Structure 1
Amino acid sequence: MRAVVIRSPGGPEVLELRDLPDPEPAFGHVRVRVQLAGVNRADLLQRAGHYPAPPGVPADIPGLEYVGTVDAVGPGVTRFSGGERVYGIVAGGAYAERIVAHEREVVLAPADLTDEAAAAVPEAFVTALDALAVRGRLVPGERVLVHAAGSGVGTAGVQIARALGCFVIGTSRTADKLDRCRELGLDEGIVPSGHVFAAEVLARTGGVGVDVVLDLVGGAYLPETIAAAAPRARVVVVGLTAGASAEVPLGVLLRKRLEVIGTVLRSRPIEEKIEAARLLERTVGPWLARGIVKPVVDRVFPLAEAAEAHRYVASNVSFGKVLLDART
């Protein structure tokens, strides 16, 4: 098979397309012929040497989500027999023509989604739904703040919050992305001045603040996020594009009785990854089928142009998901 390999930690130029042996499915696992894979910020961090793959996962092949067709099944597999169109999340290795995954981590892709649309779903929508509804305990009618609203997870978060009947505020570096997010259900958009946005959030919530925050930025955004939070709010930190550390106003945290919750999907144990697959299957799948939410695809690159795809994502001009096509 062809696969994109990280030659050594570094910039996009360290990504190389190589011919490697096909992986073989172990007991309870299936092999998937990948059609498209999603490009995520985590892939850029892994390439740079800052986010190593967990044990048991290809250490030098990035890629956390895919759509494809089951082309081999291992011993003991009961859910698939071969030929099924599937999608899902893996802890790495999706920048390749074939991957293996536990059969319970693999989900049938909705029949009415194109391959490109399906590839844009798993990581973005599962991450956003898990952060908002599971970790953040979001309930209908609450006020939600989504940082980096124009990103893949951000566009999914805006739609999920809207689907749950919430008032949604988003931040982005550009007004253009916020305008496009309004088509997805965004109520209010804010372009932060530097890292300052709390006063704007309070103004647009009648001085109350927001109940749940999907924070895909971290760093210097966190103190402002805490200032913008309503009493007993839940701040769910998923991304760290603004930095991995922040000065936290502990007095405000205590006075408001806030919860700051960190979460990642990649390093979770298999039991929790199977739960994430069921979230994709039982909640996101029906929403997609009914048109309540929709994947947002920005651009598709050939697998051989993974380095250019990484440069494009790093430029921050993309809106929604960037994909790699393993068929070309």
Structure 2
Amino acid sequence: MDSGTMRAIVLDAPGPPEALAIRELPIPTADHGRVLIRVKAFGLNRSELHTRLGLADGVTFPRVLGIEATGVVESCPGGEFPAGAQVVAMMGGMGRTFDGGYADHTLVPASQVIRFSSHLPWSTLGAVPEMLQTAYGALTVGLGVQKGQSLLVRGGTASVGMTAAVLAKRRDMTVFATTRNPAKAAALTALGVDHVLAEDGDVAAQVRAILPEGVDAALELVGTPTLPDTLRATAVGGTVCFAGMLSNVWTVPDFYPIGYLPRGVRLSAYGGDASDLPAEVLQEFLEAVAAGSAVVPIDRVYEFDQIVQAHTRMEAGEATGKIVVVT
């Protein structure tokens, strides 16, 4: 492969996993305000599944998918980051309005890039950016959690759910987490989850059997089908943050707030961006992982040419934690 081209995973139009095609594309040229990153690894996200299924707005095709990437700065004409620096990039239109991280190189706005330093393997580092940003942002911006509170994670074996549990236990919180699959319960217990609940449609009853007043905070990652039950599991004065839709259902038809929201329970939402993940939070988390006091919940690591298998696993909902692709 000559230096002027790179491998990229291209989606010409919505379709099945097999619609993701590996092609040779020109390596983009960095201009002022943008950073060319040599991608070492990238995580898979539901957002990319939504794009592949044709559910995402504002996406033009053909498109290199990938709302995040982890790697090394190749060039940065504006001088925001030195060449060779370890960085992550995420969001800001990556993989949707411009080509994203499913490639050997990606060109992104400097505002979407965060620098770090770590000796962890790229397969671990590649799992972190979007997962940590969403979990950290949902707990801080979305929920405003305090040390020692109780937290319900609805969709506990999703990568964001598992990361939220890790962050919550570092805050000495009591963590409840749900799963549809009893075989995944052990993975949650291993993270320090205090109460693993079966996803039976009445999680509120299970929560209140343990904590009669309900939880202080709840993170909704399944979507609007489970949201009413999550709200019922939450204490008066507590907050539910809607931050994901594993169900692919994200609207509430005929939303009537007084009938929908239990008395005194607050509902917020969190989408998030790179600016919501301070560099020191990323660095501190990676150092905690290196020290063994935090874990990165990884499901499986795939090679670049296994993208079809990786997307098939994500779509089938088989993963416990993050799916990562290394370049």
TM-score (structure 1 length as normaliser):
0.88
1:157 counterpart residue number: 164
Amino acid at match of 2:282: E
In 2, distance between residues paired with 1:296 and 1:255? 33
Q: Is the 8 A contact 1:143 1:210 kept in 2?
A: yes
1:125 counterpart residue number: 132
Amino acid at match of 1:244: W
Amino acid at match of 2:177: G
User: Structure 1 residues 71, 254: closer, same or farther in 2, change over 3 A?
Assistant: closer
Amino acid at match of 1:23: P
In 2, distance between residues paired with 1:59 and 1:138? 41
Stretches of structure 2 that go unaligned for 5 or more consecutive residues are: 1-5
Confirm whether residue 169 of structure 1 aligns to residue 176 of structure 2.
yes
Report percent identity of matched pairs: 27
Q: Is the 8 A contact 1:215 1:238 kept in 2?
A: yes
Confirm whether residue 141 of structure 1 aligns to residue 148 of structure 2.
yes
Count of residue correspondences: 314
Q: Is the 8 A contact 2:220 2:243 kept in 1?
A: yes
Amino acid at match of 1:64: I
1:292 counterpart residue number: 293
Confirm whether residue 98 of structure 1 aligns to residue 105 of structure 2.
yes
Alignment equivalent of 2:265, drawn from 231, 234, 258:
258
CA RMSD of aligned residues (A): 2.2
Q: Is the 8 A contact 2:224 2:245 kept in 1?
A: yes
In 2, distance between residues paired with 1:325 and 1:282? 21
In 1, distance between residues paired with 2:142 and 2:279? 16
* SS of residue paired to 2:185: helix
2:76 counterpart residue number: 73
Amino acid at match of 2:293: I
1:175, CA displacement in angstroms?
Answer: 1.9
User: Structure 1 residues 199, 10: closer, same or farther in 2, change over 3 A?
Assistant: same
In 2, distance between residues paired with 1:27 and 1:290? 37
CA deviation digits over 1:254-285, x for unaligned, max 9?
553222112213xxxxxx53343536436534
Q: Is the 8 A contact 1:31 1:98 kept in 2?
A: yes
User: Structure 1 residues 290, 273: closer, same or farther in 2, change over 3 A?
Assistant: same
1:2, CA displacement in angstroms?
Answer: 1.0
2:3 counterpart residue number: none
1:323, CA displacement in angstroms?
Answer: 1.2
Q: Is the 8 A contact 2:132 2:160 kept in 1?
A: yes
Amino acid at match of 2:279: R
In 2, distance between residues paired with 1:47 and 1:280? 31
CA deviation digits over 1:37-92, x for unaligned, max 9?
1111111001111124679xx86111122221111122x21432x11222232432
TM-score (structure 2 length as normaliser):
0.88
User: Structure 1 residues 48, 255: closer, same or farther in 2, change over 3 A?
Assistant: closer
Alignment equivalent of 1:64, drawn from 63, 67, 74:
67
Stretches of structure 1 that go unaligned for 5 or more consecutive residues are: 266-271
In 2, distance between residues paired with 1:133 and 1:249? 27
Alignment equivalent of 2:204, drawn from 198, 201, 208:
198
